[in-house]
Amino acid sequence: MLELKNLTVQYGAITALQDVSLRLDRGEIVTLIGGNGAGKTTTLRAISGLLKPRSGSIWYEGNDITGRPPHKLVAQGLAHCPEGRMVFANLTVLENLRMGAYLQRDRRVIEKELEFVRSLFPRLRERESQLAGTLSGGEQQMLAIGRALMSQPRCLLLDEPSLGIAPLLTQTIFEKITELNRVRGLSILLVEQNANLALAVSHRAYVIECGRILLSGPASEVKSNPQVRDAYLGGG
């Protein structure tokens, strides 16, 4: 469904990604783990069109989407829930969700999606008329995911959903992620610092370090790899 072929991205003279190739099949959760500055977020930003790659190509549902602007990709069912949540703090929760369905003109479809998001995150329903800036970090993360879902994506790029969130809420959010994958068949490319958590919900994993893919394989294999255990799983 999504494939990166030899992707290289540079910020000025600094190479952020070097020759990265990876694949996400339909119905899969694939996680990209790695340390700070390894290139995880850069990978997602290049896929969704926020960054222009230096070389290489990105394929989505059989089409070359390299360099296509983000708003066009949303229309094709590729949603990106960005790092740091980026909810519109000056808009209400409901307005944020409606903006998620910006390209959808059919009101019934919008209402149906709204109901779905409300049932997924009941907490948001209680806060609908509040400004998004007044929500807690965990609620903002729910809102960011809900907003991304409003565009009815077939593929979701999810960046650090556990960042700065209470452990209990992190648990809830990860349960919802697996639920979305199981029930809706949503394909998810997950970037996560908390490798334990990410590997537990994923089918496959890639380990990225200094802008290169170090190793990849089924989540269970990656989890038991001694190198990965030492570097990312706290030696456990």
Q: Does 67 bind another protein (CB under 8 A)?
A: no
Decide if residue 86 touches another protein (CB under 8 A): yes
CB count within 10 Å of CB 12 equals: 6
**Biggest alpha carbon distance in the chain?**
52
- Can residue 163 be called a binding residue for another protein (CB under 8 A)? no
Helices and strands per DSSP (H, E), number in the chain: 10, 10
Strands 55-60 and 212-218: unpaired
72, 73, 35, 41: which is closest to 20 by C-alpha?
41
Q: Whole-number minimum distance, CB 227 to another protein, in Å?
A: 34
Per rule CB under 8 A, is residue 89 in the interface with another protein?
A: yes
Binding segment (CB under 8 A) for another protein, from list 31-39, 67-75, 120-128, 209-217: 67-75
Provide the pairing of β-strand 187-191 with 155-159: parallel
**HSE-CB of 157 using CA atoms within 13 angstroms:** 25
Judge whether 55 and 10 are in contact, CB under 8 Å: no
Instruction: Verify binding: residue 80, another protein, rule CB under 8 A.
Output: yes
With CB under 8 A as the contact rule, the residue among 26, 71, 112, 182 that binds another protein is: 71
Q: Exactly one of 102, 123, 136, 176 binds another protein (CB under 8 A); which one?
A: 102
| Cβ nearer to another protein, comparing 90 with 171 | 90
Contact residue for another protein among 26, 67, 75, 196 (CB under 8 A): 75
Cβ count within 10 A of residue 35: 15
Residue whose pair of structure tokens reads 């790899």 in the numeric block: 225
Q: Does 134 bind another protein (CB under 8 A)?
A: no
Nearest residue (CB) to another protein, 135 versus 228: 135
Scanning residues 31 to 50, which ones bind another protein (CB under 8 A)? Answer: 48, 50
Smallest Cα–Cα separation from 85: which of 152, 169, 185? Answer: 169
182-206: b or e for each residue (b if 16 or more CB lie within 10 Å)?
eeeebbbbbbbbbbebbbebbbbbb
- Compare residues 87 and 228 and give the one whose CB is closer to another protein: 87
Q: Which two tokens stand for residue 112?
A: 């149906």
Stretch that binds another protein, among 91-99, 115-123, 199-207, 221-229 (CB under 8 A): 91-99
User: Site map for another protein, 168-197, x if CB under 8 A?
Assistant: ------------------------------
Stretch binding another protein (CB under 8 A), from 25-33, 68-76, 180-188, 225-233? 68-76
- E-assigned strands of 82-192? 155-159, 187-191
Residues of this chain that bind another protein (CB under 8 A)? 48, 50, 69-71, 74-75, 79-80, 82, 86-91, 95, 98-100, 102-103, 133, 147-148, 150-151
